[in-house]
Amino acid sequence: MAIKAASSLHRPIKIWTDSLSSLMAILNPKSHHSIVREIQTLLLSHKHIHLRWLKAHVGYLGNECADQLAKEAITKGNPFFLPKPLSYLKAEIKSVALSIWQGNWDNGETGRSTHDIVPKVSNKPVGWNTEEIMFVTGHGPFPSYLLRFNLRTHDNCSCGEKGDPIHYATKFPFTLSWHFQTPTVSLKLQWLKNILTNNFSRTRLRLLMHFLCDENNLIVENNN
Ligand SMILES: [Zn+2]
């Protein structure tokens, strides 16, 4: 921004700026920004001050000097308090809230299988359907889940093995037609991620989960 001082009090003072956005903000009668409001009030009571726009970086000496001074002010100038806009505050609050949430998620005790797949918190949905959520979280018609909530005294499947989601997706004889290949322990996470990102696998998983919900008696027939 460059200011051309008037040689006498009767002549207008022209302020040149290459910031179109600043000019537009000052021209906006509905602006709520406190600095903009202040400038508008000043301009209204000082009619001899005129604002003008000029193109940046095309060699207007005054403007280039002003730019240079502005840059120097960042490193050499005196700091001063500038109120931040509401949007900044909102972004800050959101960032702090997300970071608290992330901390709780990282250090929590429940939902660890979900944490493995979705380690980063976000307020955007992950895009899983009900069946996928049941499978990933283990919150479904599985003996492992029923035991956890004291609805059963053991977590055995009717076939005798541990009845957790992976058992039904890989070993349980009645779900053979929807079986996935058994993953090695170290690749279990990648295996799960692959299923959730492949449309064919997702469909198969959905059918498998539907079957487990509909035919739950096959799983829990040997209760207690
Ligand atoms: Zn079984």
Asked if the model's pLDDT at residue 222 lies above 70, the reply is no
> Domain holding 63: CATH number?
3.30.420.10
Lowest mean pLDDT among 1-5, 8-12, 219-223: 1-5
Asked if the model's pLDDT at residue 160 lies above 80, the reply is yes
Q: How far is the CA of 58 from the centre of ligand 1 (A)?
A: 77
Q: How far is the CA of 163 from the centre of ligand 1 (A)?
A: 6
Q: How far is the CA of 116 from the centre of ligand 1 (A)?
A: 25
In a domain, 9, yes or no: yes
What's the pLDDT score for residue 198?
94
Asked if the model's pLDDT at residue 221 lies above 70, the reply is no
Taking only the tens place, the pLDDT of each residue in 58-105 is: 778 888 888 888 888 888 878 778 888 889 999 999 999 999 999 999
What's the pLDDT score for residue 195?
94
In a domain, 107, yes or no: no
In a domain, 6, yes or no: yes
Which residue among 58, 76, 94 closes a domain?
A: 76
Q: How far is the CA of 220 from the centre of ligand 1 (A)?
A: 9
Q: How far is the CA of 175 from the centre of ligand 1 (A)?
A: 10
Q: Are 26 and 39 in contact (CB under 8 A)?
A: yes
Q: How far is the CA of 161 from the centre of ligand 1 (A)?
A: 5
In a domain, 89, yes or no: no
Measured distance between the N- and C-terminal CA atoms of the chain, rounded to whole angstroms: 82
* Structural domain boundaries enclosing 154: 127-218
Q: How far is the CA of 194 from the centre of ligand 1 (A)?
A: 23
How many independent structural domains does the chain possess? 2
For the chain, give the percent of residues with pLDDT over 70: 94
Asked if the model's pLDDT at residue 223 lies above 70, the reply is no
In a domain, 209, yes or no: yes
Taking only the tens place, the pLDDT of each residue in 14-40 is: 888 888 888 888 989 898 888 899 999
In a domain, 212, yes or no: yes
168, two tokens = 């039904």
In a domain, 210, yes or no: yes
In a domain, 154, yes or no: yes
Which residue among 33, 60, 76 closes a domain?
A: 76
What's the pLDDT score for residue 224?
47
